[in-house]
Amino acid sequence: MSPISLVVILLLPGNEKGHRTLQVTWDMGVKAIDSNKCKLTNYIHSRLTEGFLKFLAKQGIPFEQFKQARQPVPEVHNRHETPLFVAGIERADLMRQ
């Protein structure tokens, strides 16, 4: 399977002036190991929009502090969601056979 990329703009809670945005790119790929096994690669890249960076600055939050505080979020998400995603792919494949 060729790698696929999904780009999503997330709307995060903001203040009375509206939401803040964060661009998230999810890159996935599947590579055959042998006739019975494959390897799933799953990378998540996020990029703060200019508006979000301004929001952090206005709140007095340094970018590096925000980055370090946020880092565990996608790691926890991947540990929880990836096995479920793989199980869904397996179920779909078994139904197809």
| pTM score of the predicted model | 0.53
Residue 44's pLDDT is what? 79
**pLDDT on residue 15:** 54
Q: Which residue numbers in the chain have pLDDT < 50?
A: none
Q: What's the CA gap between 89 and 72, in Å, rounded? A: 26
Q: What is the DSSP string of 55-87?
A: HHHHHT--HHHHHHHHTHHHHHHHHHHHHHHHH
Domain locations along the chain: 4-96
pLDDT at 32: 85
pLDDT of residue 97: 76
How far from the centroid of its chain's Cα atoms is residue 59's Cα?
25
Res 3: pLDDT = 60
